[in-house]
């Protein structure tokens, strides 16, 4: 078992390597440089700037230099926020985004599975139709519509929740509610639909028929025999879901003025702030890759057939 975990862990390394390399060269390939949108500076100053940031060196040398820095945990200076290093910016904003993402995903998983269970057990009755209609709304309406709508209803009209801001502001923990709900909605919808479909399929399985033939109560059949197998696809989904949620948080952060990494990410792309962009990609990829790894491990614990492959 530990060998299995170790092997999976080791395979993360080439993935990260490719990601870093790919991103580095991709970004450098784009037209324009980090200083091209500045106010017109003289040729001399431009050259000095480039030299300061080692950008006059050949590309591969820059790459190696960068790689070395990253391994030491230094992401370099930010090109657009001149007073801060990337490390500063990242350490301030990343935890915010992560917290938002994790909260949203937890909401999505909890409610998604619950709704999925109820829907599947009351198939084709009103609970099912109601829940699944809400779920379809969740995957059809974009986040930047539901966000402002929720703001309109709960903050501006009903005044029970703050319009924007984060928990370090006036409203404290209340400020987390609307953005987390907004962000969780599409994933809740997807998980609800997925668990419903999966449970329905397992309910038709032979081993569920055996369980019923043994005289077990339906609630026991569902809780003990059906759920374990049926929810495995949901576990698998968590990896890609987390990836998506990160991108979703970009929109939600801008709607609710949340000081996360999302808000500065788009700007930094437009400004060609190489170091900031690279740092974002690397950290997000790392998180993603680690999440996928964790999900795989959890899955192998839940499905007894896997570890023995």
Partner 1 sequence: MTNEVILQVKDLKTYFHTDEGIVKAVDGVSFDLHKGETLGIVGESGSGKSVTNLSIINMIPNPPGKIAGGEVLYAGKDLVKLNISELRSIRGNKISMIFQDPMTSLNPYLRISTQMIETIVLHQKLDKKAAKAKAIDMLKLAGIPAPEKRIDQYPHQFSGGMRQRVMIAMGLSCNPEILIADEPTSALDVTIQAQILDLMKDLTARLGTAVILITHSLGVVAGMCDTICVMYAGRVVERGPTGELFAQPRHPYTQGLIKSVPRLDKTSGDRLFSIRGQPPNVIDLPDCCPFYPRCDKAMDVCKRKYPVSKDMGNGHAVSCWLYTEAK
Partner 2 sequence: MANSINKSVNEFNQQVKPVSLWADAWRRLVKNRMALVGLWIVILFGAVALLAPVLPIYDYAHQEIMFQNIPPSLRPAGEVAISQAQKHLDHIQALIKEGRSDLQPDFEKATTDFAALQQMVRESPAANNVYILGTDYLGRDMLARTIYGGRISMLVGLVGTVTAILLGVIYGAIAGYVGGRIDNLMMRFVDIMYGLPYMLIVIILMAMFNREGSSSIVIIFVAIALVSWLTIARVVRGQIISLKNAEFIEAARSMGASATRIVFKYLLPNILGVIIIFTTLAIPSFIMAESFLSYLGLGISAPLASWGTLVADGVQGMELYPWRLLVPALAMTMFLFAMNFLGDGLRDALDPQSKNRA
Q: Which residues bind partner 1 (CB under 8 A)?
A: 205-207, 209-217, 220, 224-225, 228-229, 302-305, 308
Tell me the C-alpha distance between 123 and 95, whole Å.
41
The answer to the question of residue 306 lying near partner 2 (CB under 8 A) is no
Closest approach of partner 1 to the CB of residue 229, in Å: 5
Tell me the C-alpha distance between 239 and 242, whole Å.
5
Closest approach of partner 2 to the CB of residue 26, in Å: 7
Q: Binding partner 2 by CB under 8 A: which of 2, 7, 14, 309?
A: 14
Which partner from the list partner 1, partner 2, none does 308 bind, CB cut-off 5 to 8 Å by kind? partner 1
Tell me the C-alpha distance between 231 and 293, whole Å.
18
CB-CB contact of 169 with 175 (8 Å): yes
In a 10 Å sphere around its CB, with 0-12 CB exposed, 13-18 middle and 19+ buried, how is residue 261 labelled?
Answer: buried
CB-CB contact of 151 with 255 (8 Å): yes
The answer to the question of residue 309 lying near partner 2 (CB under 8 A) is no
The answer to the question of residue 75 lying near partner 2 (CB under 8 A) is no
Which partner from the list partner 1, partner 2, none does 14 bind, CB cut-off 5 to 8 Å by kind? partner 2
Say which DSSP state 157 is in.
Answer: I
Closest by CA to 110, choosing from 219, 192, 18, is 192
Sign (positive or negative) of CA dihedral 265, 268, 270, 275: negative
Which partner from the list partner 1, partner 2, none does 200 bind, CB cut-off 5 to 8 Å by kind? partner 2
User: What stretch of H or E contains 275?
Assistant: helix 274-302
193 or 225, CB closer to partner 1?
225
155 or 205, CB closer to partner 1?
205
The answer to the question of residue 204 lying near partner 2 (CB under 8 A) is yes
- Here the tokens at position 217 are 């109560």
The answer to the question of residue 153 lying near partner 2 (CB under 8 A) is no
Q: Binding partner 2 by CB under 8 A: which of 50, 139, 164, 306?
A: 139
Closest approach of partner 1 to the CB of residue 222, in Å: 13
Which partner from the list partner 2, partner 1, none does 196 bind, CB cut-off 5 to 8 Å by kind? none
Say which DSSP state 77 is in.
Answer: B
* Sequence-separated (6 or more) residues with CB below 8 Å from residue 246: 97, 101, 284, 287, 288
Q: How many residues bind partner 2 (CB under 8 A)?
A: 49
Of 71-79, 134-142, 206-214, 298-306, which segment contacts partner 2 by CB under 8 A?
134-142
Say which DSSP state 204 is in.
Answer: T
Binding mask 248-267 for partner 2 (x = CB under 8 A): --xx--x----------xx-
């Amino acid at each position: 078992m530990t060998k299995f975990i170790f092997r999976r862990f080791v395979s993360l390394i080439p993935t990260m390597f490719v990601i870093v390399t790919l991103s580095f060269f991709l970004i450098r390939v784009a037209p324009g440089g980090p200083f091209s949108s500045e106010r017109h500076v003289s040729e001399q100053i431009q050259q000095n700037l480039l030299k300061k940031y080692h950008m006059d060196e050949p590309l591969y040398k820059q790459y190696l230099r960068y790689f070395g820095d990253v391994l030491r945990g230094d992401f370099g200076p930010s090109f657009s926020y001149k007073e801060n290093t990337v490390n500063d910016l990242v350490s301030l904003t990343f935890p915010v985004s992560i917290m938002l993402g994790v909260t949203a995903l937890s909401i999505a998983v909890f409610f998604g599975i619950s709704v999925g269970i109820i829907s599947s057990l009351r198939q084709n009755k009103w609970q099912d139709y109601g829940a699944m209609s809400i779920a379809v709304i969740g995957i059809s309406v974009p986040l930047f519509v539901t966000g402002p709508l929720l703001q309109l209803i709960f903050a501006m009209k009903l005044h029970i929740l703050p319009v924007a801001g984060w928990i370090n502001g006036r409203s404290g923990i209340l400020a987390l509610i609307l953005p987390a709900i907004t962000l969780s909605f599409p994933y809740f919808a997807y998980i609800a639909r997925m668990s419903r479909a999966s449970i329905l399929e397992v309910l038709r399985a032979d081993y569920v028929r055996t369980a019923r033939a043994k005289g077990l109560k339906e609630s026991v059949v569902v809780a003990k025999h059906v759920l374990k197998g049926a929810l495995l696809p949901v576990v698998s989904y968590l990896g890609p879901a987390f990836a998506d949620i990160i991108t979703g948080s970009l929109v939600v952060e801008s709607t609710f003025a949340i000081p996360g990494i999302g808000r500065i990410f788009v700007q930094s792309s437009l400004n060609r702030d190489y170091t900031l962009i690279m740092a974002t990609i690397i950290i997000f990829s790392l998180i993603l890759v680690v999440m996928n790894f964790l999900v795989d491990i959890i899955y192998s614990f839940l499905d007894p057939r896997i570890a023995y492959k």
